[in-house]
Structure 1
Amino acid sequence: MDRRLTTVLVADIVGYSALMDRNREGTIASLRSFREDTLQTLLADHGGKLIKSMGDGWIVEFKSTSDAADCAIAIQSAQKPGGFRLRIGIHTGEVVTDGDDIFGDGINIAARLEALAEPDQVLISDTSHNSLDRGDAALFYGGEQTELKNITRRIGVWCWPKGTSANLQTTTDVRPGIAVLPFDNMSGDPEQEFFADGITEDIVTELSRFRWLMVVARNSSFTFKGKNTDIREVGRALGARYVLEGSVRRAGHRVRITGQLIDAESGSHLWADRFDGVLDDIFDLQDKVTLEVVTAIEPSLRHAETNRARAKPTDDLEAYELYLRAQSHFHLLTDQDNREAIRLTTLALDRDAEYAAASGLLAWLHIQRMVQGLEPIGEGPKEAVKAAERVLLSDRADGIAMAYAAHSISMLARDLQRARVAFKQALEENPNAATVHMLASINLVLIDRPEEALKHAVHSVNLSPHDPLRHAAYIAQASALFHLGQYTEAAKACRDALAVRSSFVMSHLMLIASLGQLGDDDAARKAVMNLQALRPELSAASAQTQMPIFTVPSCANDWREGWLKAGLS
């Protein structure tokens, strides 16, 4: 692999999918003509090397930033057959060569800028602009862009042509915006056009009643009437984060209205529904549909905004970095690594006391010390419970942080039912998070529901079969299986856990008890020897054997009996 500093131009055709839908053969012919007659000539004239062609876009490398800027402006100024339009982004940065391909920040930032550009516009990063060998009156400063996906630093952006808007500057209205596109009249009857437009206008009016929401004016959204436009383009053009679109279809005296709410940035669907009615009183039906649509989508909008806020757990990048460093130590289970993780997490919280994920991790780190039989740090369990309480009271806690907190109050405060409620919420927030299922399983064991616990523990491993925390999921399985009297399966789960983390004390203790109950004396003695080699002072009377998972009334005697049978006294 070869690393080098270079300037990258990324270009993309606006609304390519819609163009292909309307006229596939004509679009392909126009694209071929532009590529062969215009693009290749301009790249040759400006020293551009075509790195990748993606059908609807291109990645080009330049040795000179000035050549890249001149070429981009020439491309945008050129006549384009078929009337298609381009967006272009340029950035100067380090790239890595792998065969004929290149990747790295040079490409990533150029691609992010291209996605932000308006049709026919060029966006140039501050790094590239600083590299220009001359001033360029055609460019103007568009401000700092702070939300480039996966890019942590602020990027200053320069724009061409002068006078265009890149939608980069911060506006005074920070409310999330929604655009309601004119509902399509699918009836084939022009007379019904007024009904479709009336539905749209009423929805705009009703949504405007929510003060937390910025609704694009009717006249602006109606400029897209009758056009087959990419939703992302609509969002950019109207400054809207969400777009509501729909259709009206009439058959005799019956009418069906459909609607769907779309995230204009990601293109994902947030809500969709249909409404059927009779045209006996068209105005009553119009009012009914408007009310039902607005009532349905408002919670979806609030939920989307909540998730968006939680996806950005902290504004302090240093706090975030400290949290990530703490995570890397958390998985190693040693006293030294645990202490370092606590130190780093505490520093993160010093910078942002409301950082819910960091509070949740801090709570679990103190539990880790207790489970491993390490000396408490500070107030130990009390500190963990305090951190957990902060998470449960936070409106910035995602499902993962909430699960950390619920685990803490379950294991330390023994508030099992409150923890169960928190786990239900965490599972609703993150239904596909392996860690949430794993911790929820442990809580279900503690409230003596082993069948449900086993399902969550198995699902946790299925969701993330290579997870560094899967030893804990196997332990959750082993605990549930032991409660169910399935000692052979419990021993296997313990061995799976030890294959992932051989130093995890709970895995050894559960394996010994399972083998003791099976009467497998040789294997049990070997398991005891392995534990004593790791922790020679540990016995059946040690603090670890008094952990909540071993003291559930219906099973506590079975654990102790298993240890004694195995020879752990």
Structure 2
Amino acid sequence: MRYLFGEYSFDVDRREVHRGVDVVSVAPQVFDLIDYLIRNRDRVVSKDDLIRAIWNGRIVSDAALTTRLNAARIALGDSGEEQRFIKTLPRKGFRFVGAVREELEQVDAAVTDHQQVELQQPDLALPDRPSIAVLQFENMSVDPEQEFFAEGMVEEIITALSRFRSLFVISRNSSFTFKGRAVDIKEVGRRLGVRYVLGGAVRKASGKVRITGQLIDAVTGAHLWADRFERDLTDVFSLQDEVTLAVVSAIQPKMLQTEIAMATRRRPENLTAYDFFLRAIHQYHLTTRESLAEAIKLAHRALELDPGFGSAAALAGDCHASNVALGYANDPQFDCKEAVRLARLALSIDDGDPDTLSRIAVILAGIVGDSEAEIEMADRAVALNPNSWRTWNNRGWVYILAGLPEEAIRSFERAVRMSPVDPLLHMTFFGIGNALLRLSRFDEAIVLFKKALRHNPSFTPAYRGLASAFAHLGRDAEAHEAAGRVLEVDPAFTISAWIAQVPKHSTLFVEGLRKAGLPE
């Protein structure tokens, strides 16, 4: 179900809010609050109604409710003064007053044939080794801005767990799709193909961090372990290690604490720098023009505070490279130079962290083009952490840019298994489609480009892929329709400008764009 109001689209099934073609970042509770108000727009909703619906009846302060309502208004471009969508009725409650049109999800004609949608994927089989997914921990702080801290803590725990080769660990992007939802742990296990699920909560206040966690067998539903940890904020990394060790010990008791020390990547000395880094990661995952710009600022703040923070340098470089790849760059040459500079800086600081290596490999593959060195780097990242969606996904792009599409497809397929419900799967499916197009397997490429668009209907690169593949097959009407969608989203698009931004392009891809009638 999709609700349309003003310039906004509110997608209940995908839990996404769009303003035009741009994705609006909305915290889970804020999304649920907007959803509840829209569904009950025919009446005034009381404060008690909201607390029962959003907080399951838990006692919450008026300040917490006001904070969520303000966040909802900000997300919808509303305000307490204007009240264009959410109206406050003093001493009575709240009501959604915007004109809403309901729309059952339609799949665009350029995306699918005969309005056929993809069938739900079957449950995934369990791997042949212990497997785990870590769900987003609930933010127990009153301040919704601490959401990024809870995300960052969980991402660090996932990273630490993924270093154990004897474990199969699902990517945070897939496990975080269950964020803010009441879920059946057995269903989570079936959808992600894992035996164990870790959940919990984080509270950061008064210079201390408290984590509560519980480990559940997703097959039987049995609780295997539960505990609470509390430390000063200055000991946050030790806290992460304690949680990791407790989880691993519950799954594989013979694992030793020394393995964690060996697996732990270099950590920043400055905790304020680490805070900026966590905020930057949060913005990076939103992948909008504005969020990448903010991620660059935050990552640079982290670097200013701790010049030896290699992961922050790699993240900043990745953001600059993403600006170019996604067509956000106002000055592509500047972004390319910054991406390479930061990548080399990160490599000089820490050449042993798998995520950093995989980011650098893609940056250099797309801009420098020393295929042998970049393949070696991508392979080493996978060897260091074979459980990481990022290392496998980035390895796929490195192999595409090196002109080895068959191996790229194998890497992307491995990435999909590591994160089977990832919000960024459209990028991975686009990668597979790109590789198939380079192999002249145009029919198969079309299937993957459509698949990418089913996951993200506003993802312009997939329309470019469709235009090229349809044109190569002589399906001119469909090619022109896909080309029209490219120009609808980006009216200034030209093939020559795109080639200038993406120097490691495929000749077949470009030939197809020309056949589809896109402007030179």
TM-score of the aligned structures, taking structure 1 as reference length: 0.47
Aligned match of 1:461 in 407, 416, 431?
416
Contact 1:372 1:544 in 2 (8 A): no
For residues 333 and 294 of structure 2, the distance between their equivalents in structure 1, rounded to whole angstroms, comes to 14
State whether structure 2 residue 58 is matched by structure 1 residue 2: yes
Q: 1 or 2 for the larger relative contact order (CA 8 Å, sep ≥6)?
A: 2
Match of 1:395 in 2: 350
State whether structure 2 residue 331 is matched by structure 1 residue 376: yes
1:349 aligned partner, one-letter code = L
**In the superposition, relative to structure 1, how do residues 268 and 412 fare at CA in structure 2: closer, same or farther (>3 Å)?**
farther
Q: Does the residue aligned with 1:426 lie in a helix, a strand or coil?
A: helix
Q: Does the residue aligned with 1:393 lie in a helix, a strand or coil?
A: helix
1:2 aligned partner, one-letter code = R
Contact 2:438 2:509 in 1 (8 A): no
**In the superposition, relative to structure 1, how do residues 125 and 335 fare at CA in structure 2: closer, same or farther (>3 Å)?**
closer
Q: Does the residue aligned with 2:308 lie in a helix, a strand or coil?
A: coil
For residues 443 and 363 of structure 1, the distance between their equivalents in structure 2, rounded to whole angstroms, comes to 16
Contact 2:471 2:512 in 1 (8 A): yes
1:321 aligned partner, one-letter code = D
**Residue 429 of structure 1: how far off its partner (Å):** 1.3
Aligned match of 1:323 in 265, 277, 285?
277
Q: Deviations over 1:127-178 (max 9, x none)?
A: 9xxxxxxxxxxxxxxxx966553499xxxxxxxxxxxxxxxxxxxxxxxxxx
**Residue 402 of structure 1: how far off its partner (Å):** 1.2
Match of 1:149 in 2: 239
For residues 278 and 369 of structure 2, the distance between their equivalents in structure 1, rounded to whole angstroms, comes to 29
State whether structure 2 residue 509 is matched by structure 1 residue 559: yes
**Residue 4 of structure 1: how far off its partner (Å):** 8.2
- How many pairs were matched up? 304
**Residue 531 of structure 1: how far off its partner (Å):** 0.6
Match of 1:424 in 2: 379
Match of 2:464 in 1: 509
State whether structure 2 residue 307 is matched by structure 1 residue 307: no
For residues 313 and 391 of structure 1, the distance between their equivalents in structure 2, rounded to whole angstroms, comes to 13
Match of 2:303 in 1: 349
For residues 326 and 337 of structure 1, the distance between their equivalents in structure 2, rounded to whole angstroms, comes to 9
Aligned match of 2:312 in 349, 358, 375?
358
Q: Does the residue aligned with 1:542 lie in a helix, a strand or coil?
A: helix
**In the superposition, relative to structure 1, how do residues 313 and 475 fare at CA in structure 2: closer, same or farther (>3 Å)?**
farther
**Residue 405 of structure 1: how far off its partner (Å):** 0.9
Contact 2:231 2:239 in 1 (8 A): no
For residues 550 and 461 of structure 1, the distance between their equivalents in structure 2, rounded to whole angstroms, comes to 24
**Residue 331 of structure 1: how far off its partner (Å):** 3.3
**In the superposition, relative to structure 1, how do residues 151 and 3 fare at CA in structure 2: closer, same or farther (>3 Å)?**
farther
Match of 1:173 in 2: none
State whether structure 2 residue 493 is matched by structure 1 residue 538: yes
**Residue 378 of structure 1: how far off its partner (Å):** 9.0
For residues 405 and 105 of structure 1, the distance between their equivalents in structure 2, rounded to whole angstroms, comes to 31
Structure 1 stretches of 4+ with a deviation exceeding 6 A read 123-127, 262-266
**In the superposition, relative to structure 1, how do residues 111 and 409 fare at CA in structure 2: closer, same or farther (>3 Å)?**
closer
For residues 415 and 430 of structure 1, the distance between their equivalents in structure 2, rounded to whole angstroms, comes to 23
2:470 aligned partner, one-letter code = L
Contact 1:357 1:397 in 2 (8 A): no
Let me know the Cα RMSD of the aligned residues. 3.8
Larger Rg: 1
Aligned match of 2:436 in 474, 477, 481?
481
**In the superposition, relative to structure 1, how do residues 396 and 315 fare at CA in structure 2: closer, same or farther (>3 Å)?**
farther
For residues 145 and 333 of structure 1, the distance between their equivalents in structure 2, rounded to whole angstroms, comes to 31
Contact 1:326 1:342 in 2 (8 A): yes
Q: Deviations over 1:242-288 (max 9, x none)?
A: xxxxxxxxxxxxxxxxxxxx989984437xxxxxxxxxxxxxxxxxx
**Residue 328 of structure 1: how far off its partner (Å):** 2.6
Q: Deviations over 1:12-65 (max 9, x none)?
A: xxxxxxxxxxxxxxxxxxxxxxxxxxxxxxxxxxxxxxxxxxxxxxxxxxxxxx
For residues 510 and 441 of structure 2, the distance between their equivalents in structure 1, rounded to whole angstroms, comes to 16
Q: Counterparts in 2 of 1:229-244, with a 5 A limit?
A: none
**In the superposition, relative to structure 1, how do residues 386 and 265 fare at CA in structure 2: closer, same or farther (>3 Å)?**
farther
Contact 1:370 1:544 in 2 (8 A): no
**In the superposition, relative to structure 1, how do residues 265 and 565 fare at CA in structure 2: closer, same or farther (>3 Å)?**
closer
**Residue 323 of structure 1: how far off its partner (Å):** 2.0
Q: Deviations over 1:478-518 (max 9, x none)?
A: 11111111111111211222333444443222221111112
Q: Deviations over 1:326-383 (max 9, x none)?
A: 2232233433222111111111111122222211111111111112332138932111
Aligned match of 2:477 in 484, 506, 522?
522
Match of 1:337 in 2: 291
For residues 365 and 105 of structure 1, the distance between their equivalents in structure 2, rounded to whole angstroms, comes to 28
Q: Does the residue aligned with 1:456 lie in a helix, a strand or coil?
A: helix
2:255 aligned partner, one-letter code = H
Match of 2:359 in 1: 404
**In the superposition, relative to structure 1, how do residues 145 and 345 fare at CA in structure 2: closer, same or farther (>3 Å)?**
closer
Q: Deviations over 1:76-110 (max 9, x none)?
A: xxxxxxxxxxxxxxxxxxxxxx9xxx97569x959
1:332 aligned partner, one-letter code = L
Match of 1:568 in 2: 518
For residues 518 and 495 of structure 2, the distance between their equivalents in structure 1, rounded to whole angstroms, comes to 6
Q: Deviations over 1:542-564 (max 9, x none)?
A: 2347624424xxxx1x2222112
Contact 2:229 2:239 in 1 (8 A): no
Contact 2:230 2:239 in 1 (8 A): no
Q: Does the residue aligned with 1:353 lie in a helix, a strand or coil?
A: coil
Aligned match of 1:493 in 420, 423, 448?
448
Match of 1:140 in 2: none
Percent of residue pairs bearing the same amino acid type = 24
**In the superposition, relative to structure 1, how do residues 346 and 428 fare at CA in structure 2: closer, same or farther (>3 Å)?**
same
